[in-house]
Amino acid sequence: MGKLLEMTAVLTGLPGTGDFARGVHPPERKTLAQDAAIEVMPPPAQVVIPLLQHTGAPCEPVVKVKDEVKLGDKIGDATGFISAPVHASINGSVLMPSVTTLPNGRHVKTIPIKAGPDQLAGDALKSEVLGGNWPTSGLERFAPDQIATAARDAGLVGLGGAAFPTHVKLVRNEKRPVDTLLVNGCECEPYLTSDYRLMLEFPGPVVTGALLAAQAAGAKQIVVAIEDNKPAAADAMRKAAEGTAVKIAVVHTKYPMGGERQVIPAVLKREVPTGGLPLDVGVVVINVATAAALARAVVRGKALTHRVVTVTGAGIARPKNVLVPVGISYQELIDFCGGLTPDAARVIAGGPMMGFTVADLKVPVTKGTSGVTVLTHADLARVDETACVRCGRCVDVCPLHLVPTKLALASKVEDWDLAKKYHLLACCECGCCAYTCPAAIPLVQLMRKGKAQMPR
């Protein structure tokens, strides 16, 4: 293994070029964890399940203190259409509910569960979640709405980071027909390798999940997009997809290829309208890990209780890819990976480009946590901020063709007319501009501030 950058874009029979205009090439740093096979974390003594782990409405608890719960039991139910239930990720008993602040800044209620004596663990757990046989034929026995309902009941959300409830994307909409299901295997955040390991080690559930999702959404074409820095994953996926309708598209390695607005044009040559959804151009995008979780939900009837998390960075003693129960604390996860190194300086939920810093290591890992990246002081050493020199570099890299410096200025001085004129709301906060800015201006922070304050 370890062969990087060997292939180039291959998109047989697809209209895209495998690339999008602009974007950046941050150092990949994937070698830290890419060769570490997925390990199963030993059962924890306790998990803390947030009642809001997705984009949308929070859940209502459906268990009481001291209730005995089993792995996969529903403990919080969805309250709206754009919502997803949460489930017990271990066997045990319910403790007093509490409140926590997730790395993205949201205060959420949580249900802690104290572990009981017997737990599904080790290889048995791994094979229940990801291993074993995954059918690629005879899936017609699952009706489209049955698949969407299974996704909802299993509490499925996008596992790539945004955590949008999956069933919402899969429910058919007469007015907006879907022709293509795009399975997103572009793990464009530096450092992270959980999707890579999943495709490499367990391509089976990804293919099954892709077929099921396409069936639910009514998509005829199924494409898995993988960047060309993951040739081994592309090979594994190709083998697993043999004889099925699933096509593998190899696209260029560039940040933020994993964004819907980048990967759809790269593969299908279609532009998602600003303020719109992939659905507007007949596409549903799900992440590879979401596809695998969908397969588990539909074929095995199991809820989303576990996920693969990459724990990596120079600030971690032994970088790993770990299969963890939802609700485990960052602290435990980090300890399992040998703990922090002495020069560790910043713990990030997700990758360095779009991740949020973790203020308190007691917070739980959620469904949307794709990685934990720990950076050192050396990684973070940077020159001081200077005035904007109007060099236009931010313009040159913005994948949405915005003018970041003007947006930042508009939100700094709270000139919302200017912000509108330069399309502040179109910004996806990918961070390309701030990554590049020679004056070290915190552009994304300013965009977020502006988007939050701007009257709509």
Partner 1 sequence: MTDEAKKEEQQAPKAEAAAPVLHVAPGPHAFSTSLTTRRMMFDVLLALVPVFAASLWQFRLYTVIQLVICMVSALLAETLFTAMRKKPILIRDGSALVTGAILAFSLPAKAPWYVGAVGSFVAIGIGKVIFGGLGQNIFNPAMLGRAFVMIAFPAFLGATAYVVPDAAIDGLSRATPLTTLKQLGQNTGLLPLFLGTTNGSLGETSALACLLGGAYLCLRRTASWEIPAGIVSAVAAIAGLMQWLAPVAGWTVLHELFSGALLFGAFYIATDPVTSPLTPRGKFVFGLGVGALVMLIRKLSGYPEGVMFAVLIMNAVVPLINQWTIPTPVGGVVLEKKS
**Chosen from ligand SF4, partner 1, none, partner binding at 357 (C-beta under 5 to 8 Å by type):** partner 1
Residue 241: CB minimum distance to partner 1, A: 30
Residue placing its CB nearer to partner 1 in the complex, 130 or 398: 398
Q: Is beta strand 306-312 parallel, antiparallel or unpaired with respect to 371-376? A: parallel
CA–CA gap between residue 361 and residue 377 (Å, rounded) = 18
Binding mask 334-373 for ligand SF4 (x = CB under 6 A): ----------------------------------------
- Residue 375's binding partner among ligand SF4, partner 1, none (Cβ under 5 to 8 angstroms by kind) is partner 1
* Rounded distance between C-alpha atoms, residue 396 and residue 98, angstroms: 46
Structure tokens at 55: 């984009």
Site string for ligand SF4, 368-407 (x = CB under 6 A): --------------------xxxxxxx---x-x-x-xx-x
Give start and end residues of each alpha helix (H) in 25-74. none
- Is residue 21 near ligand SF4 by the rule CB under 6 A? no
For position 161 contacting partner 1 by CB under 8 A, the verdict is no
Asked whether the bond before 144 is cis by omega within 30 degrees of 0, the reply is: no
Tokens, residue 168:
């919402």
Candidates 232, 418, 439, 454: give the one binding ligand SF4 (CB under 6 A): 439
**Listed ranges 219-227, 262-270, 342-350, 427-435: which one lies at the site for ligand SF4 (CB under 6 A):** 427-435
The CB-side HSE value for 410 (13 A sphere, CA atoms) comes to 25
> Which x/- pattern, by CB under 8 A, does the window 77-106 give for partner 1?
------------------------x-xxx-
* 396 interacts with partner 1 by CB under 8 A: yes
Name the one range near partner 1 by CB under 8 A: 63-71, 112-120, 160-168, 332-340.
332-340
Binding partner at 355 among ligand SF4, partner 1, none, C-beta below 5 to 8 Å by kind: partner 1
Interface with partner 1 by CB under 8 A: which range of 59-67, 70-78, 179-187, 344-352? 344-352
Lookup: tokens for 63: 């268990």
Contact status: 248 vs partner 1 (CB under 8 A): no
- Residue 298 and residue 150 in contact, taking contact as beta carbons nearer than 8 Å: yes
For partner 1, give the closer residue by CB, 116 or 339. 339
Instruction: Give the 3-state secondary structure of residue 32.
Output: helix
Tokens 């988007």 label which residue? 451
141 Cβ partners below 8 Å, 6+ apart?
none
Angstrom distance (rounded) from CA 21 to CA 17 = 11
175 with 104: CB under 8 angstroms?
no
